[in-house]
Amino acid sequence: KTTASEAEFVLIDDQNQEVYLTTLTLDNTNGIVQLNVPETVPLTMGKQYKWFFVLVCDPQERSRDHWVQGILERTELSPELALNLEQEQNTLEQAKLYADALIWQETLSTIAQLRDSEPQAWVDLIKSVGLEAIANKPFVNCCTASN
């Protein structure tokens, strides 16, 4: 639980240059926040970017911020995967195809679409990556992003 009223999502390239920054206004709702990087952000295919999600705990003393980080890489679908996805009508099976190809973002967003109808699929996915603590947290439409 946090009292932060603001968060930042930042993408940094391999030259430590900021590629994207958005600030989110939080409303103190507990749950999972969904973020999308706009299509207009120029991410190079096959290049890795560091991402940071930062809770701004004290705007005057940023050393108090809490944050998580990860790596994002834009990948091109193989022709075989693209064909399999096109032919597969079942959304859960599409998510499995993405997971087998290690395309985490698409796996996550596809399973998230099914959370109400296939709640166990969501829980299983989240637990499989060690995030049991948030498996049953609600999605929240808490935030207003500004670039």
Predicted confidence at residue 146, as pLDDT, reads 64
Rounded to whole angstroms, the Cα distance separating 17 from 39 reads 19
Confidence band for 136, pLDDT divided at 50, 70 and 90: confident
pTM for the whole structure: 0.80
With beta carbons less than 8 A apart as the criterion, state whether 19 and 38 touch. no
Model pLDDT, residue 80: 97
Instruction: Please tell me the predicted confidence (pLDDT) of residue 1.
Output: 62
Residue 142 pLDDT > 70, yes or no? no
CA 64 to chain centre: 23
Q: How far is the C-alpha of 49 from the C-alpha of 145, rounded, in Å?
A: 20
The mean pLDDT of 109-127, rounded to a whole number, is: 89
pLDDT digits (tens, 9 = 90+) for 2-51: 678 899 999 999 999 999 999 988 877 788 888 888 889 999 999 999 99
55: left (phi over 0), alpha (psi -120 to 50) or beta: beta
CB atoms closer than 10 angstroms to residue 97: 19
Average pLDDT (107-132) is: 88
